[in-house]
Amino acid sequence: MYSEAFCKVYNEFGWNYFPEAFGEQLLLWIEENHAVVRTSLDLACGTGVLCEILHAHGIQAAGMDLSEGMIAIARKRSPAIAYEVADMVSYRPQKSFDLVTCTGDALNHIISLANVAQIFHNVYGCLNPGGYFIFDLLNEKEVPPGEPIDLDFSDTVKAQFQITQDGSGLICLKTAVWENGKLQFEETIRETVHDREAVCALLEQAGFQLLQCSHQLSRQADGQAATWYVIAQKPQ
């Protein structure tokens, strides 16, 4: 679970470029594919950046996240967007949507594949016929364990990030923040790299048609990201 302090660092010090880049590619993909998207739900929406991008493009966007700290920031940033605190493994929204997204390796925070399968089942249940489920997945090349990275946010605020692997092979992202030399907080987030084929098989078992699993969402996207972008559709 993300602590309040970690959520603040997440919002203020720069992980927003993930949902911003995803949002840019997603809008291109919608345009290229003439996809009709009037309503959307972002699972594990974090601080709500992707919801804001979709909302600004006329889509009725909603978001949910397990972390109260993330949702508090999202609500403060955009009071017009509907946000909920919930666990996506058990979340069954009352409404249905044209698009469900889950980005920023949020599905890699779900360690058990049985829980991933449950999420796919839930998403299938809340999509309109023909609706899309679009998410990203970590590729293990993206997260090599390494030396700590030091960042100076200001003269007084310094942070350190380090990726390691624990005994069971989980990826551990340790974040520490100091202000005026005093440790403010330290937090370790654990994620796993799922087998891509296993995830695609689970989508099909849930009833989805797998449209794409590649390193780019849009054909127009720059370069080759290491992330997997997965696009699945609920049949009409």
Q: Which is nearer to ligand SAM, 119 or 232 (CB)?
A: 119
Torsions phi, psi for 213 (to 5 deg):
-140, 100
Select from 27, 51, 106, 232 the one that contacts ligand SAM (CB under 6 A): 106
Stretch touching ligand SAM by CB under 6 A, among 102-110, 120-128, 176-184, 204-212: 102-110
Interface with ligand SAM, residue 23, by CB under 6 A:
no
Q: Which is nearer to ligand SAM, 86 or 210 (CB)?
A: 86
Q: Which is nearer to ligand SAM, 36 or 56 (CB)?
A: 56
Select from 9, 27, 30, 45 the one that contacts ligand SAM (CB under 6 A): 45
Select from 44, 61, 159, 225 the one that contacts ligand SAM (CB under 6 A): 44
Instruction: Write out the binding residues for ligand SAM, residues 72-101 only, by CB under 6 A.
Output: 87-89
Q: Which is nearer to ligand SAM, 2 or 97 (CB)?
A: 2
Select from 100, 104, 192, 233 the one that contacts ligand SAM (CB under 6 A): 104
Q: Which residues lie near ligand SAM (CB under 6 A)?
A: 2, 18-19, 44-46, 49, 65-67, 70, 87-89, 103-106, 109
